[in-house]
Amino acid sequence: MKKFAVIQFPGSNCDRDLLNAALKAGAEAEFVDYRAASLAGYDGVLIPGGFSFGDYLRSGAMAAVAPVTKAIKEAAEAGKPVLGICNGFQILTEIGLLPGALIFNDQHTFISRDESLKIANSETLFTRGYGQGEDVVYPVAHGEGHYYCDDATYEKLKAHNQIVLTYNENPNGSRNDIAGIINERGNVLGMMPHPERALETLLGSDDGLKLFEEMTKWEANHVQIH
Amino acid sequence: MSRFIEPTTEDIRNQKLYAEMGLTDAEYDKVIDILGREPNYTEIGIFSVMWSEHCSYKHSKPFLKQFPTSGDRVLMGPGEGAGVVDIGDNQAVVFKVESHNHPSAVEPYQGAATGVGGIIRDIVSIGARPIGLLNSLRFGELTEANNRRLLRGVVSGIGGYGNCIGIPTVSGEVEFDPSYDGNPLVNAMCVGVMDHDKVQKGTAKGAGNKVIYVGLKTGRDGIHGATFASEELSEESESKRPSVQIGDPFTGKKLMESTLAAIDQPELVGIQDMGAAGLTSSSSEMAAKGEAGMNLYLDQVPVREEGISPYEMMLSETQERMLLVVEDGTEQKFLDMFEDFELDAAVIGEVTDSDRLKLYYEDELYADIPVQPLSDEAPVYILEGEKPETDEKVHDYSKEDLNRVFDELAGHPTHGSKRYIYEQYDNQVGSNTVQKSGFGSGIVRVEGTQKAIAMAIDGKSRYVYADPYNGGKEVVAQTFRSIIATGAEPLAMTDCLNYGSPENPEIYSQLEESTKGMAEACRALATPVVSGNVSLYNENRTASILPSPVIGMVGLIEDVNFMDGLSIGAGDALYLVGETEKSFAGSQIEKLIDDEVSKQVRGIDLELEYSRGMDLRRRLTEGDIRKISPLGRGGIAVKLAQLAAFHGLGVDVSVDIDGEDLFAENASRYIIVADAGKEIKDAVEIGRLTEEGFRIKTRDAEISRDLAEVAEAWEGAIPKCMTSVD
Amino acid sequence: MKKVELKVTLQQQVLDTQGEALNRAVHELGHDEISNIRVGKILYFDIDETEADNIDRIVKSLSERLFTNTVIETYEYTILDEVSE
């Protein structure tokens, strides 16, 4: 059985939700403290949403220099799947595992709503369960979710098919409606929307479950190099 | 020679320094009686905050005593940080509402944020994990720039705190009325869930047990905030800005998690939040409840800056702090735990077997006060109320252009969509939110179970102003209706009494009459009061606010899965439950056309309210009907507009009443959505939900609109006011 | 011991939404003479070091590692007075 690490920073607040999502998808999952030096023994890493270190200074800035960061980079290096959601996405850009940055929403207010999204790349280890171009609903809840990158980076993202998720109705001003991107190697995914909040129709949508199920099914030899 | 330069006992007496702190001459004399000598500066400061309205309820105690506070499910009633109610399976729901009106008027962002932080700590200090936040807000009309500024600040403050700490804000209600110009109301409610056997009390027992301080370092924030909250707002309030405290949700989150961990330790004796009046109220109340004394060594208190005097330390309202009493010898274990959470913590005193609160700073004694009289002998004032004359006004809107009235009301911020507000709140963190803000009560599942807690908050101040006694009943009944509309069984309630100055006889009478009505409704609807808060002196430069009791209520849904897939659609039948009466005193059409509230009797039959509500609730959970929507402000017409716009469905109905009665606001009525041809007690089928169009026919008039127009008016009600950059 | 003032602002090509909103507000107040508002942060800290080269090395290293996100932000710093001890 796959075993995932759910990283807990002070101020993380979607940590339990993410752990429950992994369990529901059939994986084992454990919380790992941000002071941990190693993630050996885990088959993948989940970085939850929330306000790590209060989002003080800049979202994800202080998490990016926490001890566990080195271990997250090693896991990514080893080809293990790494998923960062919301604040987790912000942290992945801060530590340089994903390009670009997340800046304030254009309207400068927090936005929380059910968001209609498009699966722009259904060939990643996370999204193979979806159809190409399929519409899904995941909630969003963020104040700094505007995805920013320069033209060169955007061209590169496009060329390598790294844009995984796009907004159908852009809620924050993100460049080209980008909601989630993957690294070139295809094992590090960051997204602002919350698939871990979309696991049951009773709560509004179960569109997110497949993402965790695919991540759980993943085998090392399946990793695609783009 | 003292380390701190402070006024002497003579200065306090001769210059009447106690008066600046909000104490009267008689209260000062009573302090001398209790101490057997004149109080020093630290001591008079302590008495002034403990005897403020906020801490002592000196004008409201007799009214609060009317409320029923016990019931089969009540595990802990008022008196502690929050009420506790059984929900079966050894679990309990914990909840309370509290006001932060005055701080929000002065600094809306921080005022609202610290209001949310404070109510969360109340719930956590009982031992519960918060699962939902709600708020009730009142502002003046959004045509005024200052009210827009206050709305922006308050909403971002509520979101700023709640979103960061990670508790979903799942419901709320907002009203815009000129009576709140310059004196907004910000009432925050928190609901938590816990196991029965973990219920904590704020008590200090066992001589030698240690007192631990944990949380943010103490600064000079909010000195005299509790007395500030009990004063009328004036031009001077602007200059009182330093009184406003700063919230730190990041530390609040760490404090919440560490407190919940501390509560699992058997060596914890008692715990209390340091809220209003900070260290003073937490230490003295804990000692009073434990029938013990306490020595505090204030030089041990973690501080943000040098030179904070005992007086300032005791009165500081620095946020994000808790006071714990732990068994002697186990203090290091707790300190280590807090260290792991990266929080400041220190042993600052011990429980004694005397009955005195003694405060030391480097071996010098700064206060020596008997504990019981400080809390028990706070003055209680019973004043004379004066009921205003009822007026004979006859409401006749039969000549009005009802389509115009409809457009005005459906597009008014009070009735329009609150999306602008609730989209700034994280509604779903925790992944158990079954029904979020937008339309009706919040519903949050109890993690790992099929159970869910329905939670609602409501207030109807125009009804209370029109008829305080029956209006008081209606406020409770309205909240009851919101709860039964989810299919939940109403369990218990909490109240926040927001009124003007009790020294004004008409206001005093409003308090007297409305609380009497509320108490009757609580009994009739089987919803005892388990916690509450009072906010008096809500006055702006020219007038008092409308009497604004706000009710928070929770209900239990045994199996929430009945809601999965529950939806309504075109073709469904609409029913009107309850007789419509020509009840216009306190209504929104009256506000629009007459611009004032007439003081007239409003009627409500509480027995009918209860039986009707419980019957509808049962039908919903059994799948017999698909939606219950209680009628409120703006009557039938506004409710149908909201229903249509929210669901994107048209309506085509015909009601056998006069046209003006579409805007009547008598109690105990609902719109129901179900299959056609149902037998529902006291109900008439009035029409259908449709794909498009919006048409309401009556005996003598018709409201006819495009669905798109109605939706646009409703959606745009607040955004259209907020477009200009203030 | 020196006191350092570090200014962090968004890079010129990054849209500063807060600055834009302020621009609009200032114009609504009738001050059309004002334009190009950019909003940033200032950090003040004491540094137990007096050599300008060493201060430069430390401040630059921390600015690029933590104080700023070099993808979107830029910084400049000034060494202020001696801190009295």
Is B165 in Cβ contact with A10 (below 8 Å)? no
Which residues in chain C are closer than 8 Å to B726, comparing Cβ atoms? 25
The pLDDT of residue B243 is 59
The pLDDT of residue C17 is 81
The pLDDT of residue A225 is 43
pTM recorded for the entire structure: 0.94
Mean of per-residue pLDDT scores for chain B: 94
Q: Please name which of B725, B665, B497, B592 lies closest in space to residue B176, comparing C-alpha atoms.
A: B592
Please state the rounded mean pLDDT for residues B30-42.
96
Please state the rounded mean pLDDT for residues A187-211.
97
Name which of B76-80, B151-155, B471-475, B516-520 the model is least confident about.
Answer: B76-80
A14, A86, A146, A149: which one is catalytic?
A86
For residue B238, name the pLDDT band (cuts at 50, 70, 90).
very low
Please state the rounded mean pLDDT for residues B565-571.
94
Listed in sequence order, the residues at least 6 apart from B401 whose beta carbon sits closer than 8 Å to its beta carbon are: none
The pLDDT of residue B241 is 40
The pLDDT of residue B201 is 85
For residue B723, name the pLDDT band (cuts at 50, 70, 90).
confident
The pLDDT of residue B220 is 85
Which residues in chain B are closer than 8 Å to A11, comparing Cβ atoms? 164, 250, 253-254
Which residues in chain B are closer than 8 Å to C21, comparing Cβ atoms? 725
The pLDDT of residue B273 is 93
SS (H, E, C) chain A: CCEEEEEECCCECCHHHHHHHHHHCCCEEEEEECCCCCCCCCCEEEECCECHHHHCCCCCCCHHHCCHHHHHHHHHHCCCCEEEECHHHHHHHHCCCCCCEEECCCCCCCEEEEEEEEECCCCCCCCCCCCCCCEEEEEEEECCCEEECCHHHHHHHHHCCCEEEEECCCCCCCHHHEEEEECCCCCEEEECCCHHHCCEHHHCECCCHHHHHHHHHCCHHHCCCC
B216: its two tokens: 């943010």
Please state the rounded mean pLDDT for residues A54-61.
92
Is A142 known to be catalytic?
no
* Interface residues from chain B to A (CB-CB < 8 Å): 156, 159-160, 163-166, 248-251, 253-254, 341-342, 422-434, 445, 560-561, 563-565
Domain ranges of chain A: 3-222
- Å between C65 CA and nearest CA of chain A: 8
For residue B726, name the pLDDT band (cuts at 50, 70, 90).
low
Task: Quick: pLDDT tens for B578-637.
Answer: 999 999 999 999 999 999 999 999 999 999 999 999 999 999 999 999 999 999 999 999
**Domains of chain C listed by start with CATH number:** 2-82 (3.30.1280.10)
Task: Quick: pLDDT tens for A25-50.
Answer: 999 999 999 999 999 999 999 999 99
User: Distance between CA atoms of B358 and B296, rounded to whole angstroms?
Assistant: 6
Which residues in chain C are closer than 8 Å to A103, comparing Cβ atoms? 10, 14-15, 17, 72
Q: Which amino acid is located at B426 in the chain?
A: D
Task: Closest CB to B561: pick one of A11, A143, A202.
Answer: A202
The pLDDT of residue B229 is 54
User: Distance between CA atoms of B609 and B602, rounded to whole angstroms?
Assistant: 14
Which residues in chain B are closer than 8 Å to C24, comparing Cβ atoms? 725
Question: Does residue C82 register a pLDDT over 80?
Answer: no
Task: Quick: pLDDT tens for B266-298.
Answer: 999 999 999 877 899 999 999 999 999 999 999
Is B166 in Cβ contact with A10 (below 8 Å)? no
Question: Does residue C47 register a pLDDT over 50?
Answer: yes
User: Distance between CA atoms of B101 and A175, rounded to whole angstroms?
Assistant: 40
Task: Quick: pLDDT tens for B43-100.
Answer: 999 999 999 888 888 999 999 999 999 999 999 999 888 999 999 999 999 999 999 9
Is B54 known to be catalytic?
yes
Is B250 in Cβ contact with A11 (below 8 Å)? yes
Q: C26: nearest CA in chain B?
A: B725
Task: Quick: pLDDT tens for A135-183.
Answer: 999 999 999 999 999 999 999 999 999 999 999 999 999 999 999 999 9
Q: Which chains touch A (3 or more CB pairs under 8 A)?
A: B, C
Task: Closest CB to B564: pick one of A20, A199, A202.
Answer: A202
- Å between B415 CA and nearest CA of chain C: 28
ipTM over 0.90: yes
CATH 3.40.50.880 given to domain A3-222: yes
